[in-house]
């Protein structure tokens, strides 16, 4: 969709990346590390400075005591952390449960590891919020089930876990001796005063969990590809065994720059929910009058819309509608169906990314209002 957007000079609200600049002080911190000569390999598990900063963050936000040396591994983005986690725990024919619609890395990574992805669909409740059907998850567990992958806040739906979801997950993992991979890359983008329900909040669950996060999302530098995994000691050793022979290590000055920036500006994380909630609210308000129905967005920087009420467009598949938006209205979106192994036939949903400059959002909304309203 990004390539199609470029081809048609459309405003790209499809791919999930900010179009605004990162804090210049973050860039200066990375450049200062380069100028100071920190341009050779970092330790395989990541610089101690960044691992220490991460330990401070999870202690402050979740009360979790992460051992800097034994629990934390810096990776080339959350994508590598997820890949390493899946490779580390999966034996041939193991089954891993994924909750769909799901980030599109999970399924191919499981297959690449010799495992079998088992999809359980999220369901739309009476408020049109995607939620986990825990009875369906329990029914999907077999003697071959090795792990469950969860994602909160969720890409692409924008839903978040409740405390009860964590309790259900913990009980299920304990009862069936499962590992949990908890993809929490949007952990600091939870709205309306809600608390991010991290798996690290519950010690019993944390003992079975690989927590995956990313500075690309938190600090608006997706191109830096700096992520990390926090896991129990045995799992950390397995993750590092994959990481060492995959990327080995990631950019030293970027790690040091992030560590310095977090130490000097701890308030940036606290400010993130309000920053993105304001963008969410402006974008949702601007969609009024377009005929698009907005679904709840509890977190992330993604907004799902339902186009089933748009007359002539309602007969289109989500892929056809997304292509039409790009080619004829000048705004790119992402169809929801590719986030499923077997997408529900009745859904008419596409995803917009609102992590954009004010001018970008205004221009996109004007185009949508003119083309659809």
Q: What is the pLDDT of residue 80?
A: 98
Averaged over successive runs of 10 residues, the pLDDT of the chain (373 residues) comes to 90 94 98 98 98 98 98 98 98 98 97 98 96 98 98 98 98 98 98 98 98 97 98 98 97 98 96 98 96 97 97 94 96 97 94 98 97 86
CB 138 within 8 A of CB 172: yes
* Residue the block writes with tokens 């989500």: 318
Beta bridge partners of 150: 182
> Got the DSSP string for 282-349?
HHHHHTTTSSPEEPP--BSSEEEEE-TTSGGGGGS-HHHHHHHIIIIISEE-EESGGG-SS--TT--E
What residue spans define the domains of the chain?
A: 2-21+268-372, 24-264
Instruction: Tell whether omega for the bond before 153 is within 30 degrees of 0, i.e. cis.
Output: yes
What is 24-264's CATH topology? 3.40.640
Question: What was the pLDDT predicted at 181?
Answer: 98
DSSP H helical segments within 113-266, as ranges?
A: 134-140, 163-176, 203-206, 215-218, 233-244, 252-264
Please identify, in words, the CATH class of the domain defined by 2-21+268-372. alpha beta
């Amino acid at each position: 969709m990004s390539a199609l957007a470029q081809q048609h000079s459309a405003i790209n609200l499809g791919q999930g990346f900010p179009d605004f600049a990162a804090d210049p002080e973050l860039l200066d911190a990375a450049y200062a590390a380069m100028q100071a000569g920190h341009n050779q390999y970092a330790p395989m598990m990541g610089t101690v400075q960044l691992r220490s900063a991460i330990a401070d963050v999870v202690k402050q936000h979740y009360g979790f005591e992460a051992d800097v040396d034994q629990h934390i591994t810096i990776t080339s983005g959350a994508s590598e952390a997820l890949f390493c986690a899946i490779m580390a725990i999966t034996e041939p024919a193991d089954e891993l449960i994924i909750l769909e619609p799901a980030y599109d890395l999970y399924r191919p990574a499981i297959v690449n590891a010799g495992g079998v992805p088992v999809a359980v669909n999220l369901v739309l409740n009476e408020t049109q919020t995607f939620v986990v059907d825990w009875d369906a998850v329990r029914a999907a567990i077999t003697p071959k089930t090795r792990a469950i992958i969860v994602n909160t806040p969720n890409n692409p739906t924008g839903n978040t876990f409740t405390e009860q979801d964590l309790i259900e997950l913990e009980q299920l993992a304990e009862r069936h001796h499962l590992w949990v991979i908890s993809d929490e890359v949007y952990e600091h983008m939870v709205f309306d005063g809600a608390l991010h329900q991290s798996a690290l909040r519950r010690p019993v669950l944390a003992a079975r969990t690989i927590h995956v996060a990313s500075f690309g999302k938190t600090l608006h530098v997706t191109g830096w590809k700096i992520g990390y995994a926090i896991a129990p000691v045995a799992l950390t050793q397995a993750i590092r065994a994959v990481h060492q022979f995959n990327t080995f290590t990631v950019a030293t000055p970027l790690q040091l720059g992030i560590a310095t920036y977090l130490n000097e500006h701890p308030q940036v994380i606290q400010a993130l929910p309000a920053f993105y909630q304001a963008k969410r609210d402006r974008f949702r308000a601007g969609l009024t009058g377009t005929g698009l129905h907005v679904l709840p967005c509890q977190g992330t920087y993604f907004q799902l819309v339902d186009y089933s009420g748009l007359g002539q467009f309602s007969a289109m598949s989500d892929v056809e509608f997304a292509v039409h938006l790009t080619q004829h209205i000048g705004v790119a979106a992402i169809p929801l169906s590719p986030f499923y192994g077997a997408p529900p036939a009745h859904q008419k949903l596409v995803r917009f990314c609102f992590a954009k400059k004010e001018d970008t959002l205004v221009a996109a909304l004007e185009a949508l209002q003119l083309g659809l309203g």
